[in-house]
Amino acid sequence: MYNPKSKDLVREYFPSFHTTRFQDQPDPHIAVQEHFIRVTKQHERDLTQKDGINVDHLRYGEGRQLVDIFYNKNTSSHAPLFVFVHGGYWQMMDISTSCSLVGPLVRHGYRVAVMDYNLCPAVTLEKLIQEFTEFLNWIFDYAELTNVMEIHFAGHSAGAHMLAHVLKGIQAVSPQRSKKVEALIFLCGVYDLRELYNLESVNPNNILGLNERNVQSVSPMLWEYNDVAIWSSTKMYVVAAENDSPTFIEQSRRYAELLNKNGFKATFKIFPKYDHFDIIEETAIDESEISRFLRNIRSE
């Protein structure tokens, strides 16, 4: 078992160390993160300034519990809804760095919801998961009020971890609601937090509020799944990037295996050449491999 203080384990839980890009820079680990922030913020600005996409700024709770809904003049009233949950180790990022995928999806007929959430340490991770359940209630209510018949969910990194809670048998998801969910897409996620929460570099001063007892309750890899039948019509994809860390890739592989073992219909997929960051950056490009994958799930 890894020593939580070992340098190798720290690197395993920092995907930026595994990029093959920016190797001409003094510190590729920092350069890839700075590039991600810069380009994703530009993607968000371009939506309304250049792409003619409209946005409704809505709220599902207090603080940072926000949702931006994107569409254009051609968006049908019955358009499928694509919901995105951003990453950032539950302590970073916001909507401004989370809109890269919006443009291509809206141009191909989707309405897109990008949600934000309160960050640790303002809340503990357990509290954040409770607030995510509030969001699920809100987004399903929104879908019903706006006559949405088809919903796709995707989460990246920590957002993929949060998205897994939709399968935990929570009251927010009834059999009637789950039938509307066409796909659940888990992108480069982390699903077992037992090593991670002991790392000071990832969880400084335990801002996530985890211990040996509650870390299991927030680790999707360790759950029992009981409400499998209500997801029989939902496609599930557990996605990893080739240039992510070996630990992140292996956790995705194991999580897909766990879902299938429990009776879900899950597909594990590794995207060649991508790393933890450009797999999101390139969702802004209509004909990139990841963008085509996200919008073509409907036809599979």
CA distances from 26 to 8, 29, 34, 219, 274 (A): 20, 9, 13, 35, 21
152 given a catalytic annotation: no
276 assigned to active site: yes
Using alpha carbons, select from 245, 35, 269, 29 the residue that is nearest to residue 157.
Answer: 245
Complete DSSP assignment for 62-96? STT-EEEEEE-TT--TTPPEEEEE--STTTS--GG
- Which candidate in 68, 116, 192, 244 is catalytic? 244
* Cα 276 from Cα 292, distance rounded (Å): 18
Active site residue 244: yes
CB-neighbour burial class of residue 171 (10 A; exposed 0-12, middle 13-18, buried 19+): exposed
Among 68, 192, 276, 278, the active-site one is: 276
Catalytic residue among 16, 98, 157, 252: 157
Quickly count: other Cβ atoms within 10 Å of residue 204's Cβ.
Answer: 11
Helix spans in 79-182 (H): 102-107, 125-145, 158-163, 175-178
Q: Letter for the amino acid at 89?
A: Y
Known catalytic residues are: 157, 244, 276
